[in-house]
Chain A
Amino acid sequence: MLIRNLKLFAHFVRGSLLAVASGSRGYYIWLLALGILIALGATAYGNQLTHGLITSHMRDQVSWGFYIGNFAFLVGVAAAAVVLVVPAYVYNWGPIRDVVLIGELASVAAIVMCMLFVTVDLGRPEFVWHLMPIVGTPNFPHSLLTWDILVLNLYFLLNWFVVTYILFTAFKGRKYNPRILLPIIFLSIPFAIGIHTVTAFLFTGLKGRAFWHTALLAPRFIAGAFCSGPALIFLIFRVLRKFGRMQISDTALFKIGELLAYAMAINLFFVGTEVFTEFYAQTAHTVHARYQWFGLHGMSSIAIYTWAALCFNVLALIIFMVPKFRLNMNILTLGCVFSFSGIYIEKGMGLLLPGFTPDSLGEIYEYTPSLNEVTVGIGIWAVGALLFTWMARVAIAITAGDLRHATVSRQIGP
């Protein structure tokens, strides 16, 4: 039995490799484009390894920047993509399996990107094993960073298991066993909330940084994640429906729009409560919010992004709320683009930089990422996109029935 399954699994891997290796011309062009971006990113990272993080614009005053901003944002994407499973299940959106699959695949890709962003941020990545158990000395449970690494890895394993299990059973031509699958899927939901809460606590737990030391940070993280994750899944679904022979009903897509309306309303409500608390009864700590919204002493490179994010989010909310817009596929797509970009600014660097500016001694260092940092970041996004493309290709080939044990054995021999 085990031997047979192992053999089947080897076939499954070979079949998957065949599926990612072949495709239309458009597919190859896409791969080539991603490959170029990854190569550029790798070169930039090589440059960083040679000269140190001085190639970034981070300095002692703003000691985290573009990398950790992207990390915080992507944890949200990883979390929310899976949460879509709940409505998919409750509302019984046609093939729930497909919704789950794409959500989990997006999560897996997002977590890989998260880990890459944290790794490139390290001053000495070659010693990353110092925080692993047994070989290293993880400061668990005191350091929230060890918690974050733990939950992210567990979450990664959960998602990876679900995806592999669904695909492998389909590959064998059987139906998945809901008694194995559903409990794990439902377990991954509290985990999804968990990874994002722990990531928020990473910041909330710093009492010296007034801007983050607020109980609202974790709820705001979650609310933001529910705006960016489903928006991304929506966009992925639209692309896959066009190019990838993926079956997904309009109703399901419109339902995502409806969900986004709630999420964005809550998110903007949180923004409002925070703005009120900061500005109505100002204290010395309001200085960070003032920098965020208006800049200080004429130094305001970040303020324009804060307002842009607000505009994007408000526009997205209008689109999600008004039925005439929400039920128009193209306008809804635009709303999702707004929602995704608005949250990217707000939950990425928009959250990070004001926490460091002015710094703990009152100094203002205006941070904008260096070209090298951005190039590394683009490379990581390209890795995520490539990973997702390959996984989705296998998934679709299997769920559409093209990739089955029977067909693979015919192609590659027993």
Chain B
Amino acid sequence: MRVRVRGYYEHKEVPAEGKFYVPIACQQCEDAPCTTVCPTGATWQESDGIIVIDYDWCIGCRYCMAACPYGARHFNWGEPNLPAEDVNPNMHILGNKPRTRGVVEKCTFCIQRVREGRMPACHEACPVGARKFGNLLDPDSEIRYLLDHKRTFVLKAELETHPKFFYFWGTEGRS
């Protein structure tokens, strides 16, 4: 395990010398330890595979945070302070609806977008197109092609959480 001493991102320019970048989000595990441990059943896997949280049912015990091997869950320690004008009115009750203090939240693959057939916001925002997103069950999808033709890996494969978040080498010469 590589140890990061300072937690927060501190470089003015990227890529910084000697650094290797691994963006992380919720891995949308097929066998998600976070949902098993939740005492109230406030978090579960949707039929399309997305792990969601019912923010109205969560009691904030944070057992799921202890269970998640990827640091993907975040707790609202204080009062959220997103200004009203920055709130996205296109909401999903299991996705980007405003969370209250005292509940856990996480990445939902932008459920409010992908359920409408759009791409997740991170996918759309990435300037170099490093992110791919799609239906794993569709044999003709781009994501399926990448999984079949590129060298891919998942994080902490030994835990058998079976993430649906893959890393691949996109540069031909290095794959």
- Which chain B residues numbered 88 to 107 have a C-beta less than 8 Å away from chain A? 100-104
The verdict on B63 contacting chain A, using a C-beta distance below 8 Å, is yes
The verdict on B49 contacting chain A, using a C-beta distance below 8 Å, is no
A59 touches B156 (CB 8 A): no
- Which chain B residues numbered 60 to 114 have a C-beta less than 8 Å away from chain A? 60-63, 65-71, 73-79, 100-104
Known: A123-B60, A358-B1. A52 touches B69 (CB 8 A): no
Chain A residue at minimum C-beta to C-beta distance from B60: A123
A284 touches B1 (CB 8 A): yes
Chain B residue at minimum C-beta to C-beta distance from A360: B71
Distance in angstroms from B86 CB to nearest chain A CB is 21
- Which chain A residues numbered 165 to 194 have a C-beta less than 8 Å away from chain B? none
B76 touches A208 (CB 8 A): no
In the assembled complex, which residues on chain B have CB atoms less than 8 Å from the CB atom of A124?
Answer: 58-60, 100, 102-103
B3 touches A52 (CB 8 A): no
Which among B7, B39, B103, B159 is the interface contact of A208 at CB below 8 angstroms? B159
A63 touches B3 (CB 8 A): no
B4 touches A122 (CB 8 A): no
Q: Which of B30-38, B122-130, B131-139 is the interface stretch?
A: B30-38
The verdict on A86 contacting chain B, using a C-beta distance below 8 Å, is no
Chain B residue at minimum C-beta to C-beta distance from A132: B40
Q: How far is the CA of A401 from the CA of B39 in the complex (A)?
A: 46
In the assembled complex, which residues on chain B have CB atoms less than 8 Å from the CB atom of A131?
Answer: 39-40, 59
Q: How far is the CA of A133 from the CA of B39 in the complex (A)?
A: 11
The verdict on B2 contacting chain A, using a C-beta distance below 8 Å, is yes
Which among B39, B71, B101, B103 is the interface contact of A143 at CB below 8 angstroms? B39
Q: Mark B142-156, 1 if CB is under 8 A from A, else 0.
A: 000000000000001
The verdict on B5 contacting chain A, using a C-beta distance below 8 Å, is yes
Interface size of A by CB at 8 A reads: 54
Which among A137, A206, A299, A365 is the interface contact of B37 at CB below 8 angstroms? A206
Known: A61-B7, A206-B66. A145 touches B71 (CB 8 A): no
B7 touches A365 (CB 8 A): yes
Which among A58, A125, A208, A356 is the interface contact of B69 at CB below 8 angstroms? A208
Q: Mark B1-43, 1 if CB is under 8 A from A, else 0.
A: 1111101000000000000000010000000010011111110
- Which chain A residues numbered 264 to 296 have a C-beta less than 8 Å away from chain B? 284-285, 287, 296
Q: Mark A209-235, 1 if CB is under 8 A from B, else 0.
A: 100000000000000000000000000
A361 touches B59 (CB 8 A): no
Q: How far is the CA of A205 from the CA of B34 in the complex (A)?
A: 11
The verdict on A243 contacting chain B, using a C-beta distance below 8 Å, is no
Distance in angstroms from A351 CB to nearest chain B CB is 13
- Which chain A residues numbered 116 to 172 have a C-beta less than 8 Å away from chain B? 118, 121-125, 127-128, 130-131, 136-139, 142-146, 149
Distance in angstroms from B7 CB to nearest chain A CB is 4
Among B2, B42, B69, B77, the most chain A Cβ lie within 10 Å of the Cβ of: B77
Which among A64, A125, A146 is the interface contact of B39 at CB below 8 angstroms? A146
A297 touches B71 (CB 8 A): no
Q: How far is the CA of A205 from the CA of B33 in the complex (A)?
A: 9
Known: A149-B39, A362-B2. A130 touches B59 (CB 8 A): yes
A287 touches B159 (CB 8 A): no
The verdict on A54 contacting chain B, using a C-beta distance below 8 Å, is yes
In the assembled complex, which residues on chain B have CB atoms less than 8 Å from the CB atom of A209?
Answer: 66, 69
Distance in angstroms from A352 CB to nearest chain B CB is 10
Q: Interface of A with B (CB < 8 Å)? A: 51-54, 56, 58-61, 63-64, 118, 121-125, 127-128, 130-131, 136-139, 142-146, 149, 202-203, 205-209, 284-285, 287, 296-297, 299, 355-356, 358-365
6 nearest A-B pairs in the assembled complex, by CB-CB distance: A123-B60, A208-B69, A123-B102, A54-B78, A145-B39, A54-B77
**14 more A-B contacts (CB under 8 A) besides A53-B60, A206-B67?**
A52-B76, A52-B102, A53-B77, A61-B7, A121-B62, A124-B100, A131-B59, A149-B39, A206-B33, A209-B66, A299-B5, A356-B66, A362-B2, A364-B4
